[in-house]
A and B are shown apart, each in its own frame.
Chain A
């Protein structure tokens, strides 16, 4: 047991190291990843300014753009990573090794988190300096707590999607595409979700990002404290408690299904 835990921690660290090392070797990606989101969110900022919306909307957009960076990373650089690993032959090597699949995903998640945080920080700095986005944080620890819970919930969702990519190729790709834009909309990345009709809000409540964004915005922009965002915290914890075991179960299930159907390492599906 102890030996297995140590091995899995080594694997997680190694996969994290690969991700960070890889990104550092291609810094041009970092530049692109920092500039493009700022351009995207600037469109929303100027639209709100033109409509005379309160200055807090600028901060909402900045925070939304920041968290979207993590969502995109979860969707394409983590969930879909198993697809690429399969195509390059690495997935076969992972599956033949005596390691937990969750350890590999944990490494990818931590690596992705570190890389994306750089991008996110750039978006926040640009938002504050260029767009004069107002920030009012009275409880920094609460802000950090909501942020970290949101990240864990998002990457847990990514781990669940990874199980799909482990077995399916293009089909999973379409699913990921299907999730990208609707999640921007439903989670209220560029506007407060309270403006949506009730039924849509109900659907939006199935996404951890919705609660994460709401909590972070209230704490970082409106200056609210833990007392008014505890529901967001509880919901995020519930998401984590459901998604992590579900991801582990789904990975085992998909791996066994793949072994049964002979599709586990089948390429160009």
Chain B
């Protein structure tokens, strides 16, 4: 049986201002029917590029990509019949039309008859909790409700493969949670929908995905079930340190022996730096503490923490998502 989504040595290079930019490099993934597959990586890692190729909005430079067994380059129309794309931070639709009218319009893009469309719209509005806004113009909806409408729009054609590109971007915790649990149920229902989700929220990938691929600078670094990926970190120790002063110079950790990786978050309000550090040996921590004291920094708290998917990323790349984004900005 063919995979729902399959890529073989998929690469994409963009022109770039000075030199060609490799957005994807030999990406090979296989996603089974009914699976929720997460693509986890910082901004600019190549997640959206991969999705755009799979939904026929972008051509690959080399390699092959199949969705539902159809080639995205040679058979785009067949691919389009079985997919839907929902992007976070987007509000497709017409502000002047109501929620119901917008959904009707989008149902017509998939050729739904009026009676079928009407029933589906009603059900989706109930599922998404937007039925009380059925006659409200889209322009008057809050960001969260617009995204609920966007999800309903994506599901109206009963896609076999649903592509979610940062779907909970900018949403409040409750709305994000509701949408996540809905999609998880949707994928596991009788019709078995496949979901490819891109996100840079670790918890989202952890909570929703059957398998996760970690992508960085266009390359897949690891791909497995979230617990298997985290399991591999068992030999390392992960500590969370809160250090006084947000000016703490932690560059010495780059060369420190035994440090697998780290990520840091600087808080301007509390004037503190939260350091997440992964070490091979607990003994290394004492030398880290010593170096911090030499800088006249106080360690406000130190806890051992359970590994997360971000730690998997740190272990693979050596630094966290924020530093990755900063590095890209300064580059």
Contact = CB atoms under 8 A, between A and B. Distances in A.
Nearest to A264: B57
Interface residues of A, number: 32
B104 A96 contact: no
B48 to A, nearest CB: 10
A96 B80 contact: yes
Interface stretch (B94-102, B234-242, B303-311): B94-102
A259 B57 CA distance: 6
Interface centre among A7, A10, A15, A21, by most B CB within 10 Å?
A10
Interface centre among A95, A98, A259, A260, by most B CB within 10 Å?
A98
A26 B93 contact: no
Interface in B66-100: 77, 80-81, 83-85, 87, 90-94, 96-97
Interface stretch (B105-113, B125-133, B179-187): B105-113
Contacts of B106: 93
A7 B85 contact: no
Interface string A228-269: 000000000000000000000000000010011110110000
B52 interface: yes
A18 interface: yes
A182 interface: no
A7 B111 CA distance: 4
B56 interface: yes
B250 interface: no
Given A259-B58, A259-B59, A96 B108 contact: no
A97 B93 contact: no
A14 B80 contact: no
A142 to B, nearest CB: 37
Interface of A: 3, 6-7, 10-11, 13-15, 17-18, 21-22, 25-26, 88-90, 92-99, 256, 259-262, 264-265
Given A10-B111, A265-B52, A92 B92 contact: yes
Contacts of B124: none
B55 interface: yes
A265 B49 CA distance: 12
B15 interface: yes
A21 B98 CA distance: 11
A90 B93 contact: yes
- Contact residues of A: prevailing secondary structure: helix
A99 B109 contact: yes
Contacts of A15: 105
A25 B56 contact: no
Contacts of B14: 262
A96 B96 contact: no
A97 B92 contact: no
Nearest to A3: B111
B57 A265 contact: yes
A14 B59 contact: no
Contact of B108 (A13, A95, A259, A262): A13
A85 to B, nearest CB: 9
Contact of B91 (A7, A26, A89, A264): A89
B58 A98 contact: no
Contact of A26 (B81, B96, B109): B96
A95 B96 contact: no
Given A22-B94, A25-B96, A96 B58 contact: no
Contacts of B81: 98
A13 B59 CA distance: 30
The 4 A-B residue pairs whose C-beta atoms are closest, nearest first, are A7-B111, A14-B108, A97-B109, A98-B80
A96 B83 contact: yes
A97 B57 contact: no
B58 A264 contact: yes
Interface in B215-239: none
Nearest to B106: A93
A89 B138 CA distance: 14
A28 to B, nearest CB: 13
A9 to B, nearest CB: 9
Contacts of A17: 105
A106 B110 CA distance: 17
Given A10-B111, A90-B92, A96 B56 contact: yes
Contact of B110 (A7, A89, A260): A7
A262 B58 contact: yes
A92 B85 contact: yes
22 contacts: A10-B111, A11-B109, A11-B111, A13-B108, A17-B105, A22-B96, A88-B92, A93-B85, A96-B55, A96-B56, A96-B85, A98-B81, A98-B109, A99-B109, A256-B59, A259-B57, A259-B59, A261-B15, A262-B12, A262-B14, A262-B58, A265-B52
